[in-house]
Amino acid sequence: MNPETVVVVGQRALEIMLLLSMPLLLVALVVGLLVGVFQAATQINEMTLSFIPKLLAMTAALALSGPWMLKILVGYTRELFESIPSLIH
């Protein structure tokens, strides 16, 4: 296994990690912004107010995007296992 192969495998792993984390992070960002605007408009400065909406939204996002995320992860794992013989010279 040469250094270029290690870099390519690591780069692909980082790409998959970013791809899988993107839906949940975007949902948390949007819900956080909406709750922040609501808190600014109503002048409610409760720190725990944003926790429950974020938790519910991220649970819904995980339920909706979970099958897609699992498909991507299984595909990458299968691709990685199938490439093991070519990685070992």
Residue 10 lies in a domain: yes
Number of domains in the chain: 1
Residue 23 lies in a domain: yes
The structure tokens listed for 57 are: 């939204």
d(CA 18, CA 16): 5
Residue 48 lies in a domain: yes
Residue 89 lies in a domain: no
* For range 33-61, the mean pLDDT: 90
Residue 57 lies in a domain: yes
- What domain range is 44 assigned to? 3-84
Residue 55 lies in a domain: yes
41-54: pLDDT as tens digits = 988 888 788 889 99
d(CA 41, CA 48): 17
3-class SS at 57?
helix
Residue 56 lies in a domain: yes
Q: Has residue 64 got a pLDDT over 90?
A: yes
